[in-house]
Structure 1
Amino acid sequence: MEPLSIDEIRGSFVNSTKSLVKAMTPPPQFSELPWESLDFLGWRDPKAPNRGYLVVRRAGGVTGIALNTQASSKPRRGTGLCDLCHCAHQITDVALFAARRAGTAGREGNTVGTYICADLACSLYLRGLRDLDVPQGETISPELRVERLATRLENFVTRVLA
């Protein structure tokens, strides 16, 4: 992914109010992000842990999506699968994120939800730059996994924009 500025990121959100975008906390260690290893920029807001952000470069420019999730009140056991990167995690390391739809549909309260790596670091897991706690059964190449991530990511963004 090509590096983005904070202003580009703030200006990219399609499903959030100006006040929420202004209050958004940029990604931690922003100047040290491994841009060359990212397919999208994703992070949880340290000041609002139930809020996350996903920013992706697309053919039409940069699209930012504000996400919400809920903290689990009781410990859960088992494994979960991220709908974007298809990495298996401990169930507590996958979260259901809801994104308000863009435009009128979003203002009417319509949302799109999907399970994503709780830390939004799909790109790093696919490239082996961040360790997974659960053995992965998929044996395809990292390049093909990255290609599939791009397709699933585009489908999710399209659902938010629809």
Structure 2
Amino acid sequence: MRPATERDIRASFVNCTKGEAKRLPVPRDLAAQPWDDLDFFGWRDPAAPQRAYLVTESGDGLVGVALRLAAPHARHLRRSMCSLCLTTHTGDGVSLMTARRAGRAGQQGNSVGSYICTDLACSLYLRGKKEVASGERLHESLTLAEKVERTTANLTGFLNKVVG
């Protein structure tokens, strides 16, 4: 992903108002992000842990979505799999994240959801730059490029549901 500025990120959100996008907390360390290793940029709101944000490249620009994490259930030991990068985690490493749909559908309260790595570090898990807390990723015979392509396709499918 190419580096993004705060202004670009704020302008990219498709499922919130301009006022909401103006008020959302964008990380201050944008210059320090590993942009070359990111397929999308995601972060959690430090002041409101149930909120998360995701921005990715689409066509000539960026597309951003505001997400909400479902209320956490009791900790469990079973594994859950991220629907974007297919990384498995135990405990609360994967969360159901919902996004209000864009446009009129979102204004009427419609949303879509997906199970995503709670820390939104899918790109780093794929590249081995971040380790899964409970062990390791499942072995796959795919190349890194194929894994990235699959993750990007999964993300595009989710974003199409938000925008469509």
TM-score if structure 1 supplies the norm length? Answer: 0.94
Aligned residue identity for 2:4: L
5+ residue gaps, structure 1: none
- Aligned equivalent of 2:48: 48
Contact 1:15–1:100 (CA<8 Å) still a contact in 2? yes
CA shift digits 1:55-107 (9 cap, x unpaired) = 01011421100000134152222110000000111131100000000000000
Report runs of 4+ in structure 1 exceeding 3 Å deviation.
none
| SS of alignment partner, residue 92 of structure 2 | helix
State the match for 1:15 in structure 2.
15
Unaligned runs of 5+ in 2: none
Give percent identity, aligned residues only: 43
The aligned residue for residue 136 of structure 1 is 137
1:70 and 1:157 map into 2 onto residues whose CA distance is: 18
**Mapped partners of 2:74, 2:152: distance in 1:** 33
- What is the DSSP-based 3-state SS (H/G/I as helix, E as strand, rest coil) of the residue aligned with 1:115? strand
Q: Hey, what's the Cα distance between the residues in 1 that align with 2:27 and 2:84?
A: 20
C-alpha RMSD of matched pairs (Å): 1.3
Deviations 1:34-53 (A, max 9, x none): 00000001110111111100
Q: CA deviation at 1:143?
A: 1.8
Instruction: State the TM-score, normalized to the length of structure 2.
Output: 0.93
Name whichever of 18-27 and 152-161 sits farther off. Answer: 18-27
Give the whole-Å Cα distance in 2 for the aligned partners of 1:75 and 1:31: 35
Task: Tell me the equivalent position of 1:125.
Answer: 125
User: Does residue 116 of structure 2 align to residue 116 of structure 1?
Assistant: yes
Say which SS state the counterpart of residue 138 (structure 2) adopts. coil
Contact kept in structure 2, 1:42 and 1:52, CA below 8 Å: yes
Aligned counterpart, 1:154: 156
Rounded to whole Å, the distance in 2 between the matches of 1:49 and 1:12 is 21
